[in-house]
């Protein structure tokens, strides 16, 4: 029984780990709130599922109508330790009662230092490192570029097809996909150069060949001596959970080092146990010069980091980096609770196990339906690419239809991909296995009703 319940630090009733539908999804109260949302919130902020949340914990989200939904999205890979995880809630409560903010740049506090120590310890490589904390993933990426430019005295930033790095001005320029992220929001920041990603399902190239293709373009169109940094998601997130062919990342990292450029791994979505290791780079033993982190780092509170080699991180002058809220004490307390949970519960192993279950189930679904071109991912970062039967032609309409069918049955799934045809699964890593099985059965049924 303890397995299927999430204990409540407030001593109230536990949150049953179950799918339970008591109204249509969305129900009447959600529908009413959604109408109010429309009259108050700007249209530019989208909605995946118009269900308003009352509580969430473990692997479920309970809405204002009393429906309990299976969460296969984790708020976009954020609540990997589970929503309102005990250790996160306890540390946040303790911190919020002591002080909520001083600004680390004005009068420091030790939780910021502890988070930096943890990042220096957990990120790939055992060289000497330093870290800096920010509020969002986009802000971390912007700062990684600032640091790389100061360190190298160069300005060019190399990024990849299908990349997603955020929505601020510089990170819009770094992001590949136009709609909805860039359309009408330019002009964009200069000195950003895009090269082909390794995308085995679509390019058929092995890792070294795909790397050679990218490197040739960098050398001939940008010039190795102009490159401040090469910025890459070791497994792409919004771009479609694209896992590069083996050998691609090591070759790109080696080229960067030889060219005197900074190799930056954007592990904002793939980091913190998600892929079955602490960071996606770990799977191929790739040691980045800088790593950006956010999302899973703090159990849902806004926090982000840049971590890397001391000589690179310390290149900017004192006062050159920072921000009013970066490394807020409540967010740092949450991160310490989240990291403690990942270590204590061995969430890397849990991610691997959930990944095995998802991959096996999805491969069966693929064999039955014929519209799944590929099942791919690593650990608990798994996706299917939906295509027209017998082809590699992306089918965004079918992907949306399957996602909507899952939502109506009380299972939260997300889509992604340059062509909108990738259905991705990112369950909290504490998801009870029977609940995951049930979610996958609903997904299988949704695919079955397609044909």
Query: Under the rule (CB under 6 A), what is the footprint of ligand PLP?
Result: 136-138, 141, 164-166, 233, 237-238, 266, 268-269, 294-295
Q: Which of 59, 29, 26, 52 is nearest to 358 (CA)?
A: 59
- Long-range (24+ apart) CB contacts under 8 A made by 392-399 are 392/201, 392/202, 394/419, 394/420, 394/421, 395/371, 395/421, 396/420, 396/421, 398/371, 398/450, 399/423
- How many CA within 13 A on the CB side of residue 78? 18
Per-position DSSP letters for 343-374, written without gaps between them: HHTTHHHHHHHHHHHHHHHHHHHHHHHS-EEE
Nearest distance in Å: CB 266, ligand PLP: 5
Nearest distance in Å: CB 405, ligand PLP: 25
State the Cα–Cα distance between residues 228 and 150, nearest whole angstrom.
9
Nearer to ligand PLP, 165 or 407 (CB): 165
Nearer to ligand PLP, 57 or 166 (CB): 166
Nearest distance in Å: CB 2, ligand PLP: 33
Nearest distance in Å: CB 9, ligand PLP: 26
- What's 250's DSSP letter? H
Give the tokens for residue 207.
């890792």
Backbone Cα Rg of the chain: 22
Q: Which of 338, 444, 427, 447 is nearest to 17 (CA)?
A: 427
Nearest distance in Å: CB 19, ligand PLP: 27
Whether the CB-CB separation of 59 and 430 falls below 8 Å is answered with: yes
- Residue 382: other Cβ atoms inside 10 A: 25
Nearest distance in Å: CB 273, ligand PLP: 15
Q: Which residue, judged by CB position, is nearest to ligand PLP in the bound state? A: 137
Nearest distance in Å: CB 365, ligand PLP: 25
Query: What is the chain's percent helix, strand, coil content, to nearest 5?
Result: 40, 20, 40
Nearest distance in Å: CB 435, ligand PLP: 25
Nearer to ligand PLP, 15 or 291 (CB): 291
- Sign of the Cα pseudo-torsion (72, 69, 302, 343, in order): negative
Nearest distance in Å: CB 211, ligand PLP: 20
- The pair phi, psi for residue 415, each rounded to 5°, is -110, 165
Whether the CB-CB separation of 143 and 321 falls below 8 Å is answered with: yes
Nearest distance in Å: CB 31, ligand PLP: 28
Angstrom distances, CA of residue 109 to CA of 140, 210, 324: 20, 46, 14
Per-position DSSP letters for 292-309, written without gaps between them: EE-GGGGTTS--EEEEEE
State the Cα–Cα distance between residues 27 and 321, nearest whole angstrom.
46
């Amino acid at each position: 029984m303890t397995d299927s319940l999430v204990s409540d630090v407030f001593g109230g009733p536990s949150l049953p780990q179950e799918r339970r539908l008591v109204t249509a999804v969305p129900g009447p109260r959600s529908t009413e709130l959604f109408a109010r949302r429309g009259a108050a919130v700007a249209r530019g902020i989208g909605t995946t599922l118009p269900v308003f949340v009352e509580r969430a914990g473990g692997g479920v989200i309970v809405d204002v109508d009393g429906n309990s939904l299976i969460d296969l999205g984790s708020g976009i890979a954020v609540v990997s330790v589970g929503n309102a995880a005990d250790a996160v809630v306890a540390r946040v409560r303790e911190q919020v009662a002591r002080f909520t903010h001083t600004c680390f740049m004005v009068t420091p506090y030790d939780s910021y230092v502890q988070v930096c120590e943890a990042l220096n310890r957990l990120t790939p490589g055992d060289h000497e490192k330093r870290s800096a904390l920010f509020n969002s993933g986009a802000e971390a990426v912007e700062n990684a570029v600032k640091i790389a430019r100061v360190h190298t005295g160069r300005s060019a930033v190399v990024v990849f097809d299908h990349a997603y790095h955020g929505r601020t001005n510089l990170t819009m320029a770094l992001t590949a996909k136009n709609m909805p992220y860039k359309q009408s929001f330019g002009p964009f920041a200069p000195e950003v150069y895009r090269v082909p990603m390794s995308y085995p399902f679509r390019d058929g190239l092995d890792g070294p060949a795909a790397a050679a293709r990218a490197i040739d373009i960098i050398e001939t169109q940008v010039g190795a001596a102009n490159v401040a940094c090469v910025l890459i998601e070791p497994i792409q997130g919004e771009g479609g959970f694209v896992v590069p062919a083996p050998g691609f990342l090591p070759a790109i990292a080696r080229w960067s080092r030889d060219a005197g450029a900074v190799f930056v791994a954007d592990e904002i979505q793939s980091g913190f146990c998600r892929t079955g290791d602490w960071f996606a780079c770990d799977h191929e033993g790739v040691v980045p010069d800088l790593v950006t982190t956010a999302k899973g780092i703090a159990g849902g509170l806004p926090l982000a980091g840049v971590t890397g080699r001391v000589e690179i991180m310390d290149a900017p002058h004192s006062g050159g980096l920072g921000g009013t809220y970066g490394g807020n004490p409540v967010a740092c307390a949450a991160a310490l609770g989240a990291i403690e949970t990942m270590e204590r519960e061995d969430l890397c192993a849990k991610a691997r196990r959930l990944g095995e279950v998802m991959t096996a189930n999805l491969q069966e679904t693929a064999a039955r339906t014929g519209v799944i071109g590929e099942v791919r991912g690593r650990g608990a970062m798994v996706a299917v690419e939906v295509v027209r039967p017998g082809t590699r032609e992306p089918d965004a309409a079918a992907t949306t239809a399957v996602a909507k069918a899952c939502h109506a049955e009380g299972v939260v799934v997300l889509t992604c991909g340059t062509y909108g045809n990738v259905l991705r699964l990112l369950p909290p890593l504490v998801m009870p296995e029977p609940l995951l099985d049930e979610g996958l059965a609903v997904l299988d049924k949704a695919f079955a009703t397609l044909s």
